[in-house]
Structure 1
Amino acid sequence: MKAMTNPASGSGLRNLKMATLAIGSAFLIAGCAGNPPTEQFALTESAINRAVSADATQYSAVEMKSAQDKWKKAEMAMHDEEFDKARKLAEQAEWDARLAERKAMAAKAEKAVSDAEQGIRELRDEGMRSAQ
């Protein structure tokens, strides 16, 4: 024999679960908004340091300046406890620094190839002169 359940009670339980989930999500989002983005700041600082080490200020000046400007704005926003703004600016600064680092590495690689090609030409020319 089957027990009859009241469909309305299942619906009420489902609504209660949904409300609990919504309230929990709201608290989670509110909690994240109030926390300083210390992890993001560490990532950004590391990316900027790597870019500087890769000579991005020389080979990718525009992107490096953009990263440094956004980093300064992020630090000011952090000081003013505008954590969402600080997080967004720090993320943008991180990506600008990563781009600057990659462009600097590419420019260095291109220069190394060019120098190697020049060395080969000089050796070839010297070999031709000594053969004559």
Structure 2
Amino acid sequence: MDTKSKNLLMRVGAAAVVLSLAACASPEKTPATAAVAVSHNAVENAVSAGAPELAPTEISAARDKMMRANQALAAKDYKTARELAIQAQADAKLAQSKANSAKATAAADALNEDLRVLRQEVDRANSDQQQ
């Protein structure tokens, strides 16, 4: 085999390797990886909002789906990873919303109780003045 043929064969081989590597880089990997990262942040935000105490079912579902998304990502099942990550994000947002709603309800209840006590004091002060 002459030098010209060897160079051509090496170029064809190099091109085949590059094409093989390009084919291995799935176009689904980046969106799946990003979705898993976003779901992780959503779960952290929900936990910070008090979801483990105030929305335990929803945060548990989010954590489970996030874990399964990570496993699918590690197994290079990018479509499943992305789908599970999106579901985990939705569950985490629901958990955060429920936690925030529960806190707002508790604050409103406390305010209503304070107003009730204040009204009683005003009524008592008015009745003392009338006597």
- Shared fold, TM over 0.5: yes
Structure 1 gaps of 5+ residues are 1-29
Count of paired positions: 102
Which residue does the alignment assign to 1:6?
A: none
Q: Deviations over 1:16-46 (max 9, x none)?
A: xxxxxxxxxxxxxx9423x252211221111
CA shift, 1:100, in A, is 0.7
Identical columns (%): 35
Aligned mate of 1:77, from 47, 52, 72: 72
**What residue in structure 2 maps to residue 108 of structure 1?**
103
1:96 aligned to which of 66, 86, 91: 91
Q: 2:34 is matched with which residue?
A: 39
The normalised TM-score by structure 1 is 0.71
Pairing of 1:1-132 with structure 2 (within 5 A): 31-33=26-28, 35-36=29-30, 37-131=32-126, 132=128
Q: Which runs of 5+ in 2 are unaligned?
A: 1-24
Deviation track 1:76-101 (CA, whole Å, cap 9, x = no partner) reads 11111111111111110001001111
Deviation at 1:74, TM superposition (A): 0.8
CA RMSD of superposed structures (Å): 1.5
